[in-house]
Amino acid sequence: MSNPFFEAWDAPLGAPPLDRFQPEHFVPAYDRALAEHVTEIVAIAENPAAPSFDNVILALEKSGRLLTRVDSVFANLTSSATNEALQAIELEMAPRLSAHWSAISMHPVLFARLDDLFQARGTLGLDGESLKVLERYHLDFVRSGGQLKGEARDRLAAISQRLAVLGTQFCQNVLGDEEDWILPLTEAQMAGVPDAVRDAAAAKAAALKIEHPFAVTLSRSSVEPFLQYAEDRGLREQLFRAWTARGDNANARNNKAVMTEMLALRAERAGLLGYENFAAFKLDDSMAGTPAKARALLEDVWEPARIRALEERDGLQKLIAREGANFRLAPWDWRYYAEKLRQEKYDFDEAQLKPYFQLGNIIEAAFYTATRLFGVTFRERRDVPVYHPDVRVWDVLKGEAVIGLFYGDYFARPGKQSGAWMSSFRDQEEVNGHIMPIIINNCNFSKSDPCLLSFDDAVTVFHEFGHALHGLLSHVRFPRLSGTNVARDFVELPSQLFEHWLEEPDVLTRFARHHETGEPIPNALLDKLLAAKNYGQGFATVEFLASALVDMDFHTLPPGSDPLEAQAATLARIGMPDEIVPRHAAPHFTHIFGGDGYSAGYYAYLWSEVLDADGFKAFQEAHDPFDPATAHRLYKYVYASGGTRDFAAAYRAFRGRDPHIDALLEGRGLTTPVAA
């Protein structure tokens, strides 16, 4: 059988032939890739020469190239274009891949050679980046059980395999619940919904081939606009309950048992590695360092955020009363009445914005910002193979030289995980030649023509493109230190910092243009947008912090704790307002249960926000949002340096000092009370 993985890739920049991959290609490719990697690892471990940087670290960095190629394609397809066949392979491969990596990190002879190098690191004459990658490899192996022996080593490997399977099951369960639920809607049921949202719902109904003229699904970009505008309170409740029940329904996809087992296994894993709990293990390799420091930040922001949210709640309740209703504000009412109150307080209707926020223009706005800051330009091309017709591809250029490829996959569809994320088909590096990055952004906007975005959706485009730039601008030697291979509470700095430029008048007046007339957003509307930008920050901060605090509590609990009871206990302890629910309820909290990525790490968004809010002040202090000197430091110490530097030192090199929390509170409007 012809298998693209076993052939040279002759697409531009060696891009993967994404139009050719079929499910039957992956298992044979994994079989060969794993076997090749095992042979390479054995050769490194059994090398008769004394351990050296070249025959251990450099050899490890050069190994597993076919496996990296297969993994990158498979991971992107299973998140962006999956099907039953791919999901079956995903479940089959999860324990095999976990066992493979456990065998490497726990290989006693290989670890002994690595440890010898690490102990002698001060005598090797290594440059800073080489020393950093040696230290990173040693820490990776230690945290994966390299120092364990006997039963403890075997048990940790078994735990890792089981967690890989459970994380895959968790995501597949959430996706299944999302795809099984559709809310068909009639013309009358769309009362109150503005034209742009109606058009998206109509396009959704047409794409799903249902008989009703409109439809809403459980994608966030479909749910939230309906909750914000639909007059029918019963329909809002129906949609809200389905949305918040993902992974917690009375069906085979209920995630309670999966979560319970994952939390117990993570706690056991941490214990085997010598940590009090999983949060202590996870944060030991982070900027925060300890759960106590991460929790302190969350709790410092919680009280002012909760006070603001309660003020907002009281204002919404008064609005309900003024309209002559006598019901108590419920979670499915919040967005609807918050939008009404915003219009009343600021003479500002968010629906007025959508005609000015066309997806194509916002992408161009992100490109323009990158050009002004970092001197890179973008050139769309149509000769690069893609896995779906909606995917767009651009060359990324520095001067006349191409430095990478950027893919954009912006629309929701069946077989695609919800949310928004950045990933890569290839990371930048110099070990295996001059390897240019191939980076992809995924979003889940409702497809329509034209695709008009809310302001929050536009922020999402900028956020994910900030991540993409972190990968595209990487300028390091070693794959292990490339791009976004950084601490979890640092990785959100480039993405969240990039969001600030969307609010710059220069960017908005250039790219926020009416999709029919081409006229720029009126200054009066722009002024209202910026004046109202902190409106609703109590709600937004509370729903985030609740999820972050639940996550931290989950990973400090004794094994065997019921996750739903633990979630309820946390919300009661912090005084969660009844009218707000966490941004991610536990049964569909894929950030923390879809793998280890943000487990005990959801706080990282807030930690990084301290950095990004303070960091943008550097441009404000320079009186120029595109100040060349400040942008150069940002490029050198944040976007280009990957994991080659200590992250706190990297921030100080950019900013000239440590960050202050004041900028975060000011940016969220939480420094002074606001009357309801």
3-state secondary structure 123-189: HCCCCHHHHHHHHHHHHHHHHCCCCCCHHHHHHHHHHHHHHHHHHHHHHHHHHHHHHHCEEEECCHH
Q: Is 560 exposed, middle or buried (0-12, 13-18, 19+ CB in 10 A)?
A: exposed
Token output for 149? 């022996």
CA angle 376, 127, 131 (to 5 degrees): 100
**Could you list the active site residues?**
464
Q: Smallest Cα–Cα separation from 61: which of 146, 129, 153, 119? A: 129
Q: Are 370 and 383 in contact (CB under 8 A)?
A: no
Q: Is 127 within 8 Å of 117 (Cβ atoms)?
A: no
* 454: DSSP letter: -
- DSSP states of 101-122: HHHHHT-HHHHHHHHHHHHTGG
Residue 19 identity: D
- Angle separating helix axes 604-621 and 647-655, nearest 10 degrees: 20
Using CA atoms, how far apart are residues 437 and 24, in angstroms rounded to an integer?
A: 27
For CA atoms 240, 246, 251, 255, the dihedral sign is negative
Q: What dihedral do alpha carbons 271, 275, 278, 280 form, nearest 10°?
A: 170
Amino acid at 178: E
The CA distances from residue 147 to 144, 291, 325, 496, in Å, are 9, 24, 65, 37
Q: Is residue 352 within 8 Å of 613, Cβ to Cβ?
A: no
Which residues in 320-437 belong to E strands, given as ranges? 376-381, 392-398, 401-411, 421-426
